[in-house]
Structure 1
Amino acid sequence: MKSDYLNLLKQRRTIYNLGKNVSQSPDEIIDLVEQVIKESPTAFNGQSTRAVFLFGKNHDRLWKIVEERLKSEVPSEEAYQNTVNKIENSFRAGFGTILFYKDEDVVKGLQEAAPLYADNFPNWSEQTQGNINLGTWITLAENGIGASLQHYNPLIDELVRKEFDIPENWTLRSQMPFGSIEAPAGEKEYMSDEDRFKVFK
């Protein structure tokens, strides 16, 4: 049995200790991720995922927005300072961020075109997001780039929309900060196979 893909999957880890020591250029990374998005499967070939690439001051601005927005959400000053430290030393310390969006107009169009499956299209579009998130993550890892997947939406949605002129019909689904791997991820823990799988032969 071939296991090339499995080996790549094992390389994909959540990397919090990111840096800016990336050998690839922004254009190379953009081209690579755009190809991942184009080649990822989507229900009815809907292609509902959109992506925004942030580098340099735009990357920094995103995480400043997150930092400022969370101030009113975190219960104590100590907790807030811990949040600021995480943002500063992990996410903003990276080389860039990819924002993943869902185009709601595409989902609605699919619902109208295939009403029999209308209730399924929102879920299927989320599955598309998962496909693309994982594919991007694996592709970055294959090229020696660390990443993590964050979900500060919907708290930051409107602020980010205004800052980066995001269309109204795009809904933010996740944020992927990425960069050089400054420290490896810890050991991964697995639940028991008995609790996870059922096999009938």
Structure 2
Amino acid sequence: MKQEFLNLAKQRRTIYALGKQVDFSNAELADLIKEAVKLAPTAFNSQSTRAVIAFGQAHDKVWEIVRESLRKVVKDDDAFAQTSAKIDSFKAAYGTVLYFTDMDVVHNLEKQFPAYADNFYDWSEQAMGNTNFAVWTALAENGLGASLQHYNPLIDEAIAAEFDVPASWKLRAEMPFGSIEAPAGDKEFMADDDRFKVVD
């Protein structure tokens, strides 16, 4: 049985030590990310996922927005110093993918198919997960590391204003990516008997 896909999936790990030692051009990286987003499955082929791909100063601005937003809610200076150091590690990456769900797509499907109306947002979240995994694995296949962060909704308004994001786009995640400066640690798995049931 072929295992190429599983081998690629094993390469996809959460990498926190990210750097800027990337041999690909911004155009090549953007094309890779766009293609992965396009190929990720969505319910009803809704294509509800959107992405802003940030490089250079735009990438830096993402993480300064995160820092400024957190400073407003983290009042303790020592705690903020730790938080700020974490933000620095994301800013040290080469770029960031900002993932959004286009809520206009979700609401239009709710109207078109009222019998399934309660499901369309959940299905858009499944589409988001598919997209995150697809992009993450495509980056890993090319020797790049990434992690998935969730500073939304704290940063939503500032991100929308900075990058002229349509009002219908709802921020769902942020993915800093770049060169792998230190590998991920060992990954532990729970017992198969607690996780799976195989029936005939």
User: What range is the shorter-chain TM-score in?
Assistant: over 0.9
Aligned to 1:150: 149
- Distance (whole Å) between structure 2 residues aligned to residue 10 and residue 191 of structure 1: 16
User: Aligned pair 1:31/2:5, yes or no?
Assistant: no
Question: How far has the Cα of 1:200 moved from its partner?
Answer: 2.0
Please, what TM-score do these two structures have when normalized by structure 2?
0.98
Could you list the structure 1 runs, at least 4 aligned residues long, displaced by more than 4 angstroms after superposition: none
SS at match of 1:154: coil
Aligned to 2:58: 58
Code of the residue aligned with 1:54 in structure 2: it is A
SS at match of 2:118: coil
Q: Which runs of 5+ in 1 are unaligned?
A: none
Aligned to 1:195: 194
Aligned to 1:121: 120
Aligned to 1:163: 162
- Distance (whole Å) between structure 2 residues aligned to residue 33 and residue 79 of structure 1: 34
Aligned to 1:132: 131
Q: CA RMSD in A?
A: 0.9
Please, what TM-score do these two structures have when normalized by structure 1?
0.97
Code of the residue aligned with 2:61 in structure 1: it is R
What pairs with 1:49-128 in structure 2 (closer than 5 Å)? Answer: 49-74=49-74, 76-88=76-88, 90-128=89-127
- Count of matched residue positions in the alignment of Structure 1 and Structure 2: 200
Aligned to 1:172: 171
Question: How far has the Cα of 1:66 moved from its partner?
Answer: 0.3
What pairs with 1:6-17 in structure 2 (closer than 5 Å)? Answer: 6-17=6-17
- Distance (whole Å) between structure 2 residues aligned to residue 55 and residue 178 of structure 1: 10
Question: How far has the Cα of 1:114 moved from its partner?
Answer: 1.1
- Distance (whole Å) between structure 2 residues aligned to residue 188 and residue 123 of structure 1: 28
| 1:109-161 Cα distance to aligned partner (Å, 9 max, x none) | 11111111111100000000000000000000000010000000000000111
Q: Which runs of 5+ in 2 are unaligned?
A: none
- Distance (whole Å) between structure 2 residues aligned to residue 179 and residue 144 of structure 1: 9
- Distance (whole Å) between structure 2 residues aligned to residue 16 and residue 73 of structure 1: 23
Question: How far has the Cα of 1:75 moved from its partner?
Answer: 5.2
Q: Percent identity?
A: 58
